[in-house]
């Protein structure tokens, strides 16, 4: 069972947007934890750096970056989320970036809910690495 989940849930019983809702939080927590590991600094700096990784454009880029490392099922989940119809209109991103970001968040939520924590961490690390490499 994953952290915070009191019982085992089947991610296939949830909509891709519900999984993306969970995946967004997991990704945000992961990024914030990694930023703190990199050193203590002002909260405003931490926030600015976090926003650089947790936004539709950055997540879209990360989704494309990790695509080659995904299994067939993971690609299916990513595309399931990417193709989900949302009533939300992106304010600061293109529709394409927003959809790819949703796909990434869906995959993260799926792996978290399915308790595939080791695989989830591999994907999160790879997605985070591209953003950190871009800022150096």
Q: What are the residue numbers of the active site?
A: 24
Q: Quick one: CA dihedral 33, 136, 104, 65, positive or negative?
A: negative
Q: What residues have CB less than 8 Å from 61, skipping those under 6 apart?
A: 130, 131
Q: Under DSSP, is residue 135 helix (H, G, I), strand (E, B) or coil?
A: coil
- What's the DSSP call for residue 40? -
CA separation for the pair 43, 59 (Å, rounded): 22
In contact, 80 and 63? CB cutoff 8 Å: no
CA separation for the pair 32, 62 (Å, rounded): 16
């Amino acid at each position: 069972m994953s952290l915070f989940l009191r019982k085992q849930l089947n991610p296939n019983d949830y909509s891709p947007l519900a999984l993306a809702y969970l995946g967004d939080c997991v990704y945000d927590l992961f990024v914030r934890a990694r930023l703190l590991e990199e050193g203590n600094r002002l909260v405003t700096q931490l926030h600015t750096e976090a926003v650089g990784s947790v936004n539709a454009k950055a997540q879209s880029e990360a989704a494309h970056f990790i695509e080659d490392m995904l299994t067939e099922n993971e690609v299916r989940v990513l595309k399931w989320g990417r193709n989900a119809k949302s009533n939300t209109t992106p304010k600061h991103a293109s529709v394409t970036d927003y959809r790819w970001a949703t796909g990434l968040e869906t995959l993260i939520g799926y792996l978290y809910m399915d308790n595939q924590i080791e695989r989830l961490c591999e994907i999160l690390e790879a997605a985070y690495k591209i953003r950190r490499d871009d800022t150096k």
